[in-house]
Every structure is written in structure tokens, then in C-alpha cells.
Chain A
Amino acid sequence: MPGRVAFWTQTARLLACTAPLIGCDYAYPEVVVVNELGESVLVRNVSFNGCKWDEMLAHEDATAPGRCLTGRDQVHFQRFDAAQYCQTQVEDDNLPGLCFCDAEDAPPTDPHDLGLVSQNPLWFNYQTISQHEVEYGSFHRFVLRPDGLEQDFSVPGPYGH
């Protein structure tokens, strides 16, 4: 019986020594992304260097802090401008009863081109122009601003299986 006690004591001691190693990845940098692109602009599918946030961000919303890989990357996201969308829908006469308040804003002639009319909201891929570097143990707050964006053509296409 003493032998068994010694065995389990020794085993527990050895396991206890390895337990702290589990937490080493908590040293990864924490990142928060804030949407300041405009009051009518929504942002979703925000990603940065291995992090991905599933929430949709309204103006001045921030993501939850995420632990990302160290290194450099741009902030990637999908952008939707609700005001621009509404304007397009009015132009295409998709919103009955609504029209331009100011005649100068209205299209000059017949705006209808049924072949191009779409009621689906389009989310476009964007990324920040500048790259950000993050290191172990650091905290970063990246703010998305209208003058720091470019379209993102690096999004992988559907390729299956």
C-alpha cells in the first residue's frame, strides 16, 4: 500500500509540474477593433492575424478582446453602408412611397434599368491600408476610419474539399 501511495504522489507531483504550461498561450496579444467608419456603416467578419470576430459592429461599437497570433497583419472586414444602400433602393424605385426630398439629388432621367436592380444588400471586403504589429503580452485597440481603408482582393475564393 505505501508503494501505491508513493506512486500516485509521484504522479501527481509530475502532473502538477506540467500544468502551468497549459496557460502559456495566454501571453498572446489581445486585440480590439472599433468601428468609426460613419454612423450609417456596419462592419462584420472582422479578422486580424488569426483572430476572427463574429459580431456585427455598428458605429463606435468595439469587438470583444481577442487573442491573436504575434506578428504583422492588416485588419480585414466586410463593410456595408446602409445610407448608400437606401439611396440606391430609392433610385431603383424599390421602396414605394419614398423619393428624394431634394430634386437635385434625383437621377436626371429614367433611372430604371431592371437588369441591374438588386435588393440584396452588398457587403464589400475591405482592409486597413496600414499593417499593425502585435507582440506577446501586449494590448492593441485598432480603430477603423474612412481614410485608412482599401478594398481587399485577397479573400480566398470557394474551393472545396
Chain B
Amino acid sequence: MHATHTGVTLVVLAVSSLPASARAQPPTDRPSPTAPQASADDPEGVEPRRPTDTADPTAATPPSPPSTAATGTSPEPIEVEVRGRRRPRRNDTAAVTEVSGERLRDSARASTLEALSQETPGLYVTSRGVGLHGIASGASGALHLRGLGGSPNTQVLVVEDGVPDYQGVFGHPIPDAYESFLIDRALVVRGGDSVLYGTNALGGVIVLENRRLAREGFELQNDMALGSYATLRERLAVLARHGEWDVTSGVSALRSEGHRAGAGGANDLAHFSVRWRPRPTTHLLVSTKLFHGTGGDPGPITHPYTDHWYDARRTTSSVQLRSWHEGLLLRLVPYLNTGVHRLYDGFYSRDHNAGAYAETELDLLPGWHALVGLSADSVGGWVENRGTEEVENVQGLTNTAAYGQLTVQPWQPLELVAGARGVLNSEYGLVPLYKLGTRVEMLPGVAVRARWAKNFRQPTIRERYLPFPTANPDLEPEYATTLDGGLNAHLGKLVIDAAGFRTHSRNLIRYFGAWPTAEVVNIDETTAYGVEGLIGVHDLGPLSARASGVWQDVGRYTRQNPSHKVNLAVQLRHTLGTGVLTGELSGEWVGGLYENNYARDPLDDVFFIDLALRYPLELSAREYSLEPYLLVRNLLDLEYEYIQGYRMPGLNFLGGLKVTL
């Protein structure tokens, strides 16, 4: 099979028949993390993989146990050679960390965002319990990257299946609304990219892509777990592919009484999407996600609350039309994100975040690739206090934007990227944004890159109008100019990712003081700089290991922006019977942590170690596989807290069983 362009040669290894071990972790639209990108089913390759990506191959799914020998199935590899020029990625020159969905699902960490933090150098996520982050006061799950994000939790954008996901009123994602049961992979674009993603992509972007079955058939995976504090976790995923139709659906539920008074709650999530492929080059995807979260703010341990409850319901729906023909890709995506939030104090809000974008990607000349798009989005809502019948006077914001990105490869190892976005905001007028980047593949598997980008975030309705604790209608948008560079190397079993960054921010929105004398204002300028790194080895016999870390100087704005964070993981595998017993020790160390700006209210270093034991049983003679597992969190029973007064649980357990049919 030869493509029209000459250039990079991609080699794909396929198997003639899938053994049960493969069925246990079936192929999806995306190829294996260790294989180059070549998906005929999704040829536009929005975010194709390649060996020099910053993806951590040690984060990939552990090798399948040698069950094929035990079962007598002997797949015959077929070598398929694909010749052609690789289509550039959207984020080619950015610092991108890729994490497989399997890795997120198998993590000992209690929530998807925490698992992502474990795998990503620089990404810091707060927590307060066993997987329930909550909303409103006392919530955790705030995303921090390169001195940005956190409070307000609006400077790191989450994009799920191409749809920007944030609330209309508060402008931030709901941390509990991300479950790993359907995720194919996650990309963390460190340093943000407002040229491609628009508002909120200031400090970073988390791109979540959901799974689709790539073969004809059906897959059902159920993962049920019970644990300490009466925790029950249930995940059910159903994927099917028949003819022109693909279905991806699932439900998940998490219930827990919590490790202390007021820390309990429940998250329910349902996801359904159907994709119609009338032609090999045209896909229509309709997707809906429903979330319902209940719980409360447990308050600091010295003064707990048991009645500060919340109830949040959200719905995200989108339609995606994709069509490609002879080097031209068209993508049209309208979406609608709505929600209703209720709090114990009478707060009630309805909000929406609606928008659409149309993009085209085309090869202008050999080595010249362009992406051009138009987008429009609108946020708004209704806010009232049902106790006092006060209705807040809020006004929404609307953005219309045109953007483009040109990638030039004058010769194969060199890639130059230039992009610009013009945003016309209903309140702030024209907002110009830009980025420039380059990437050089010096040796096979070794690349250096650099990027300069200007990103922005519009103020939220909460910051402009809601007195919780204060508001300022005159706030201006935030801007951040990021300069970063780094090296990625993938040399056999060794992977290295190193990056340095400098982020200069202007007009950042910050809260000062406490109610009733609090204020929210734009601060003048601040600069954060630091270094991030990851090193890993995989499949050294039974051993895989990796370490990642960040050191940063965030200046005066130290609130929940730690000066350093280190994550470690060591995995050992041992063949036992028909399965492979896998044990992984992972840990996190966070230091230089303050509860407030100006280095006030220092917190003790966060340090803990988790243990995950898994024993997948490949029962190929039968049409199912079993994987019992045990997660031991905070193995050393250490006292630590991310948020002042919100101590994390001591030693606790979660044991479960994953069944795949």
C-alpha cells in the first residue's frame, strides 16, 4: 500500500487473528502507543503518534502476558509498508505529554485528573479524598500548570472529543466529570495554545479522546470495585462496530461515605456516542454526555461541615462532521454544554456554553500544510439566591474568531510552524493571538523544539458579576506569553523529555483578602519560569520505571503553585500461571506549597506512595478475561494535605474486578 507522497516510511505490524489477550485490550481507532500512526479509519490524524512524541512509552499498557503460547493461538504477523509524508500534528512544536487511556484506568490515583498529574511533568492537581473533588467552596481537582491555573481554575482548558468543556458561569471544568472508562488517550499541551483552542488555553490544554472500536464486533468491559469508606466504583463500557455504524457508550458511578464527616458523595456519568460512516472518507459523530454529582464541602478538619452540600447536573452534546478528500480535510463541530448547579446556601444557577467551529486542513504544496478555521462561542447563564430571591444581573460573552496555522517542512527533519488567531469579543473587541515554533529531528528518535505563543482567557461571569466573595465588572482579559523549548528522545527502551519555559503573564485575575473585604482585580505583570523533565525505561526484563518532575519559580503568586513536584513509578511483572502479576509502586512529592499568595500559609510537603497489584487472567478458551486488582493508597499511612485543613485519607484500599467480554 503506497501513498502518493514520498518521504517517511511507516511500517505497521498486524496480526492475522486476534488472540484473547488482544481482545482484552482491543484495538481502537488509535494504534498502540508503541506503534507509529497509520490508521486508515481516521486518516486525518488529528493528533498522530510518532516515536519522538513526548509520550511516555513506559506509561503504555504493560505487555500482554504470553498467553498465546498457553492457548495455542499463534498469530502470524503481516508486514504492511506505508510510504508517504507524515501529516503534521496540530501541536507539533509544543511540549505535549501523551498518556494512554489504559494507563489512566489502571492508575492507583483516585480520579482521572490525579492520574493525569501522576503521568505529566508539571501538571499539579489538588485532591481532598478518595476521588470526589466536588464543586464550589472547598472543592479540589484544580489544574495547575507552569504557574497558571488553580484559583480561579479557569486557565487550563479541557477539550473532550474536540469540544471545549467549561461551565458558562464559572468558566472552569468540573473535575468529577472526567472518567477514564472510555478514554483512548489524553494529551497535555503544556504552555497552552489559544491559537488553536481559543479562550482559557492559557497555561495548558488537556485533550481527551474517547475510544472507538476499530474492528467489526462488540466489546463489553465492566470494572467494579469496593473499598475503604464504603466506596463503590462501577464502570461499564460498551463499544460496538457494525457496518457503517460505531457505538461508544458507558456509564460510571462512584459512591463513597468519605474518610471523614461531610466528605462523602456520589458521581454518576453516562456517555453515548454513535458514529455513522456513510463513506470511508466521511464520518458523522453524535455524542452526549450526562453528569450528576452530589456531595458536600467537608470543611477543614478542625471545623468540619456536614451540611454544605452541592448538586450539579451537566449535559454536553455535540455533532462532528468530518470529511477528507485528496489532502483536504473538513471538520464541522457544533456543541452545547449546559448545567444546573444548586448549593446549600440557596445558590441556583443555569448556564450554557454553546459554540461551533469549522476547520479545514490542506496540503498546499509538498511540505506545506495549512489549517484554517472559523469559530464562534457564547457563554451565559442565570444566577439567583433561592433563599433571598435575589437575582444577579449577569451578562454573557460572545467570541467569534478566525484562525490559521501553517506548517512548513523545507526538508524532512525541520518543521516550522506559524499560527495566528483573531478573536472578536463582544466586550473586549479584537484580541490578536499568535504562535511561532520549530522542531528539528536531529537523529532518528531525537528531536529538539521551541515555541513562542501568546494565549488569553476572558473573565468569567462569576468574576465579573457574582459576589462570591466579590465581583468586578471592569475586569480585562488575561494574557500569557509563553516561550519554551526542549528535547524529546525515544531511544529504544529509554525515553527522555526535557523542557524549559518562561511564561510572562499580563492582567492575571486574582482574588485578594477575605469576605467581606475581598477584591478581585487584574494584576499588572508576573513571570514564571522553570524546567520540566521525564525519564523512563520500559521492558527491561520485568522492570519498567519512570520519573518526572518540575522545578519552577512562580514569583509572588504562590497560591497552590508548588515550586517543585516529583512523580516516580516502578513496575514489576511476573508470569504466574496463565496471567502476569503486575505490581507498581508510584508516588508523588510536592514541595514549596503555599495556601496563599506572597508565600503565606506554607503547607508541609506532600508525599505519599501507592501500590497497585493486578493479575489479568487471559482465559482465551472462553470468551472473557478477568482482571482482579488491589489498589493500596497512601501505603505508608502518612499525614498530608494539598489544601490547608483538608487532610487526605490515611492508608486505604480499593479492590475490584475487571471483566472483558
Contact = CB atoms under 8 A, between A and B. Distances in A.
A148 to B, nearest CB: 17
Nearest to B307: A54
Given A14-B628, A19-B226, A69-B260, A24 B653 contact: yes
B345 interface: yes
Interface in B605-644: 622, 624, 626, 628, 630, 639
Interface in A132-161: 154-161
Contacts of B261: 50-52, 66
Interface stretch (A36-44, A71-79, A92-100): A71-79
A18 B658 CA distance: 13
A158 B515 contact: yes
B4 interface: no
Nearest to A13: B628
Interface in A102-150: none
A160 B468 contact: yes
B541 to A, nearest CB: 28
Interface in B212-231: 224-231
A160 B514 CA distance: 10
Contact of A160 (B136, B262, B300, B657): B136
B259 to A, nearest CB: 7
User: Which of B304, B518, B630, B647 has the most CB atoms of chain A within a 10 A radius of its CB?
Assistant: B304
A22 B466 CA distance: 42
B136 A161 contact: yes
Contacts, number: 113
B228 A24 contact: yes
Interface string B580-601: 0000000000000000000000
Contacts of A1: none
Contact of B301 (A10, A54, A69): A69
Contacts of B343: 160-161
B651 A49 contact: no
Interface in A6-22: 7, 10-11, 14-15, 17-19, 21-22
B45 interface: no
A46 to B, nearest CB: 10
A47 B136 CA distance: 22
A78 to B, nearest CB: 10
B259 A25 contact: yes
A156 B300 contact: yes
Contacts of A157: 514-515
A18 B306 contact: no
A10 to B, nearest CB: 6
A156 B622 contact: no
Given A21-B653, A24-B651, A76 B303 contact: yes
A14 B462 CA distance: 48
A10 B626 contact: yes
B347 interface: yes
A33 interface: no
Interface residues of A, number: 35
A71 B639 contact: yes
A18 B653 CA distance: 9
Given A69-B259, A157-B515, A50 B647 contact: yes
Contact of B229 (A19, A25, A71, A74): A25
A69 B306 contact: no
B227 A73 contact: no
B469 interface: yes
A70 interface: yes
B324 interface: no
Given A7-B622, A15-B657, A159-B469, A73 B226 contact: no
B422 interface: no
Nearest to B298: A50
A73 B301 CA distance: 9
A155 B303 contact: yes
Given A24-B651, A24-B653, A154 B226 contact: no
Contact of A22 (B228, B303, B659): B228
Contacts of A17: 628, 655
Given A17-B628, A52-B261, A154-B303, A160 B347 contact: yes
B619 to A, nearest CB: 8
B334 interface: no
A158 B626 CA distance: 49
B154 to A, nearest CB: 14
B228 A68 contact: no
A70 to B, nearest CB: 6
Contact of A18 (B137, B170, B626, B656): B656
Contact of B469 (A7, A47, A73, A160): A160
Interface in B311-347: 343, 345, 347
B230 to A, nearest CB: 6
Contacts of B137: 159-161
Contacts of B656: 18
A52 B345 contact: no
Contact of A51 (B226, B260, B626): B260
A69 B647 contact: yes
A12 B650 CA distance: 28
B277 to A, nearest CB: 34
Interface string B229-254: 11100000000000000000000000
Contacts of B303: 47, 76, 154-156
Interface in B275-313: 298-306
A76 B347 contact: no
Contacts of B225: 18
Contact of A154 (B228, B302, B305, B647): B302
A21 B628 contact: no
B652 interface: yes
B652 A24 contact: yes
Nearest to B615: A14
Nearest to A75: B302
Contacts of B259: 25, 50, 69
11 contacts: A7-B624, A14-B626, A18-B656, A50-B298, A50-B647, A51-B261, A66-B261, A68-B260, A76-B302, A158-B515, A161-B137
Interface of B: 136-137, 170, 224-231, 259-262, 298-306, 343, 345, 347, 462, 466, 468-469, 514-515, 518, 622, 624, 626, 628, 630, 639, 645, 647, 650-657, 659
Given A25-B652, A156-B299, A160-B137, 20 more contacts: A3-B622, A18-B655, A21-B227, A25-B228, A50-B259, A50-B261, A51-B261, A69-B647, A70-B650, A73-B301, A76-B302, A154-B303, A156-B303, A157-B514, A159-B514, A159-B518, A160-B468, A161-B137, A161-B462, A161-B468
